[in-house]
Structure 1
Amino acid sequence: MVTGASRGIGLAVVRTLTGEGVRVVGAARTVTAELKDAGAVPVAVDLSTPEGCAELVQRALAELGGIDLLVNNAGGGDHFTAAGFLTADDEIWERSWALNFFAPVRLIRAALPSLIERRGAIVNVSSIGARNATGPIDYATAKAALNTLGKALAAEFGPRGVRVNTVSPGPTRTPVWEDPDGYGAQQAALGGQELADYVARVPARSGQLTGRLVEPGEVADLIAFLGSDLAASVHGADYVIDGGALKTV
């Protein structure tokens, strides 16, 4: 079960998993043609609500018969704003935390009985912003909480056969950066730049040693590894995939 599956990292995860013969339920607020073509069972759902999370897990159990892998990827995206702390009101905070933190909490809670039974895996998609406090403050703090959640769940449910790990991408070539109405466009406008010029400079500003944005498929490959038996001894880890942007130990 993959959330945020209609585009970006989520769509890449769906394509990678279905390419390996995995049956996937892909959830998104809006089901795109790309998601339909990726071979997943598409589910249109609003994961910012408790009802939406419950509906998705019920649908996945009905379609798949059980859940072996839960990828909590939904977050940021359309809710990304360039608002600073003093301009981020309660609505922005609540909306961000509902999607970036409480949706994973609710989905994990609902899916855990099946994951325990099948000795499955959970991969939470966070961000290097949780470590270096970059990006919108509401988003970065929600992702930091998600990191802690992953550690706590790994400790509690690892002995019961469920592996919980986190993937923290750096700037990645997704609509967040490239859409004309996305976060990248907001940042470009604040600096009086054209979007294409702004995005081209992101790797250098972020310190990405590769000189380019991370590709969604690269993140998807890492997630697929963590969901597989190849990572059987990996518990409670946070894998950074950022082109070398994060310099801390």
Structure 2
Amino acid sequence: MSRLQGKRTLITGGTSGIGLETAKHFLAEGARVVVTGNNPGNIARAQAELGNEVLVLRADSANVAEQQHLARVIADHYGQLDVVFLNAGVSVWVPVEQWTEEMFDRSFDINVKGPYFLIQALLPVFANPASVVLNTSINAHVGAARSSVYAATKAAFLNLSKTLSSELLERGIRVNAVSPGPVETPLYDKLGIPDAYREQVNKDIAATIPAGRFGAPEEIAKAVLYLASDESRWTIGSEIIVDGGRTLNG
């Protein structure tokens, strides 16, 4: 198939989980792909899986200087950029009394600040038209305990799909969001849940999902593919929730 034939694309956080699966879908649809990551092991594995034609770069989403450097690399590599999937992020679930200022800042730096300044740095690089897809979360809508800071970062990020669409549309740049529910990805391995409790925690989470299971990365990737493609050219400032019905429960 060729839904993205010849499209020059960038996927941040593309070395594992949803990002890596999306990279595979983009490649299958004819896109040229650059992915970023921050874990050397994941970067090496992604390079092996995606092949030598894919540029796999190390870039810390929290570091504005690295995001600005990334934009320069993309300009040198492609000339112009047709699609960016801003997927890099961190999910930290901690009771409110345990948060420190450093932890708070780190979450916002990775999930909001870095991606925001990457968009800014890419403005001269975007083609006209171009598509920006933000990976947000249903936690922007759901009041889950211990998610206060994570949910706040995702609510802020989600809002950019509307405000930046309004500001950038005259440049031919449309911005949309995909908001996953719980998905089986390495992100959940970063939550610090002891192995002894992981199975029970997974059962508890699955019980909140009407579909009765976690989502799969490819189910999110297909929504991203639609938003990245010209099929969605009349979709602007919108959000696609892919959550197995989780938000039906409030």
TM normalised by structure 1 equals 0.89
Structure 2 counterpart of 1:233: 234
Q: Equivalent residue for 1:122?
A: 132
Match of 1:64 among 40, 56, 78: 78
Q: Is the 8 A contact 1:9 1:219 kept in 2?
A: yes
| Deviation (angstroms), 1:201 | 3.5
Q: How many angstroms apart in 2 are the aligned matches of 1:227 and 1:74? A: 17
SS at match of 1:55: helix
CA contact (8 A) 1:23 1:64 kept: no
1:50 correspondence with 2:50: no
Match of 1:110 in 2: 121
Segments of structure 1 that go 5 or more residues without pairing to the other structure are none
Using the TM superposition, give the Cα deviation of residue 196 of structure 1 relative to its aligned residue in structure 2, in angstroms.
Answer: 2.5
| Structure-2 residue corresponding to 1:131 | 141
Residue 199 (structure 2) pairs with residue 196 (structure 1): yes
Please state how far the C-alpha of 1:64 moved relative to its aligned partner. 1.8
Q: Name the CA distance, whole Å, in 1 between partners of 2:92 and 2:228.
A: 31
Q: What is aligned with 1:221?
A: 222
CA drift at 1:211: 1.1
Paired residues of 2:128 and 2:171 also in contact (CA < 8 A): no
The answer for the alignment partner of 2:248 in structure 1 is: 247
Residue 218 of structure 2 aligns with an amino acid whose one-letter code is G
Partner Cα distance (2:220, 2:45) in 1: 18
Q: Is the 8 A contact 1:171 1:214 kept in 2?
A: yes
Instruction: Structure 2: give runs of 5+ residues left out of the alignment.
Output: 1-9
Provide the secondary structure at the position in 2 that maps to 1:24. strand
Q: Which runs of 4+ in 1 moved over 3 A?
A: none
Q: Which has the higher strand share?
A: 2
Aligned-CA RMSD value: 1.7
Please give the per-residue CA displacement for 1:164-188, whole angstroms capped at 9, x wherever unaligned.
00110000010122x3xx21x52x6
Residue 150 of structure 1 corresponds to: 161
Q: Which residue identity is paired with 1:202?
A: I
User: Structure 1 residues 90-99 or 41-50, which shifts more?
Assistant: 41-50
Once the two structures are superposed, residues 58-103 of structure 1 have per-residue CA deviations (whole angstroms, 9 ceiling, x without a partner) of 1122222211111110011xxx333211110100110000010011
Counterpart amino acid of residue 131 in structure 1: H
CA deviation map 1:215-248 (0-9, x unaligned): 1011011101101000010000011000000027
How many percent of aligned residue pairs carry the same amino acid? 29
| Matches of 1:231 and 1:2, distance apart in 2 | 18
Output the amino acid matched with 2:234: S
Count of residue pairs the alignment pairs up: 235
